[in-house]
Structure 1
Amino acid sequence: MKRTKYGVMLLASVLAFGAVTMNPVEAKVSPASTVASDVKQAKTIVIKGSDAMQFDLKEIKVKAGQKVKLTLTHSGKLAKAAMGHNWVLLKPGVDIAAFGSKAAAARETEYIPKSEEANIIAHTKLVGGGESDTIEFTAPAKGTYTFICSFPGHYALMKGSFIVE
């Protein structure tokens, strides 16, 4: 009986030692690896534009360098020619009113003015009621950027902040 008692104690010691040495290793997570995995994972964003000239999101947050998959959906019923929407992410410092004025004259390029392409980070195509478009891009450097709809006159109401952390 004495051998069995020592055998049980030995087995208990081995199990306890194994549990102590295994748990800390498994629980360690490096903050750097967490940030890196956040950037590697694509951020999926769905934003809706309505017949009332409104985006349903006024603010979008992402990580610098993160892949972004953005879908613009036109939740209204009006045709593209009457109430089209797009989503345009502008570089910092762009004069939105001046951009909007040039966009209004760019009907043949779906209100994306060729002269302003250097001021655009990303944009969707123009969509009408019930349509959607998906784009993918890499989030720019940290900062706050403006997004708008460039259909004539819409930028006054259809805009928001794209915050890169």
Structure 2
Amino acid sequence: MRNLIIVLSVAVGLISCGKETQKETVSQEVEQQVINEISNQIELKGTDDMKFDKSEFTVKAGEEVTLKFTNAGVLPIETMGHNVVVLEKDADVKTFATASAKAKATNYISDLYITDIIAQTKLLGPGESETIKFTLKEEGEYTYICTFPGHWIAMKGVIKAVK
């Protein structure tokens, strides 16, 4: 009986070690996949159903980011224009977006919160593209939105800046 207990204890120990090794391997693979997905070259599209085709990017902090944005829709700019505005980490997104939605004369970018903007594209019509360059100096999460009235609720995402 004592030998059976010893054998079972050793078996449980080996199985546990095997699972830990397996977990470590999976964890390392996931970490490598995340590292491979870091890119400072971003392509983003906006559509007529008021969505960005991607809601998250990971970039290297302190290095220049190139973002190419395309309005992939077909509806006219007056009813379905899109832009991309990258905001500072501490920006109040709702306040910024609400104020900007009232700023038709300045393509839906409010002068009241201009210091909250890191980078922005112009308001684009169907089939138009624009490329912007900017640097996220610190690690953290930066929200990007479309400021056309009402769009920011669905058209937003996060750029994660990592070292």
TM-score range, shorter chain: 0.7 to 0.9
- Residue 143 of structure 2 corresponds to which residue in structure 1? 146
Paired residues, number = 124
Q: CA deviation at 1:43?
A: 2.2
Q: Which residue of 1 aligns with 2:92?
A: 95
Q: Helix, strand or coil: the match of 1:101?
A: helix
For residue 46 of structure 1, the aligned residue among 43, 46, 71 is 43
Q: Secondary structure at the match of 1:52?
A: coil
Counterpart in the other structure of 1:124:
121
| Aligned equivalent of 2:160, options 147, 152, 163 | 163
Post-superposition shift, 1:48? 0.2
Larger radius of gyration: 1
SS of the residue aligned with 1:82?
helix
Residues of 2 paired with 1:139 and 1:92: CA distance?
10
- Poorly superposed stretches of 4+, deviation over 4 Å: none
- Matched with 1:78 is 75
Return the offset for 1:93. 2.4
1:115 aligns with 2:100: no
Instruction: Name the TM-score, length of structure 1 as normaliser.
Output: 0.72
Across the aligned residues of Structure 1 and Structure 2, the Cα RMSD in angstroms comes to 1.1
Which runs of 5 or more residues in structure 1 are unaligned? 1-41
> What is the TM-score with the length of structure 2 in the denominator?
0.73
Structure 2 unmatched runs, 5+:
1-38
The corresponding residue for 1:56 is: 53
Whichever residue aligns with residue 50 of structure 1, its letter is T
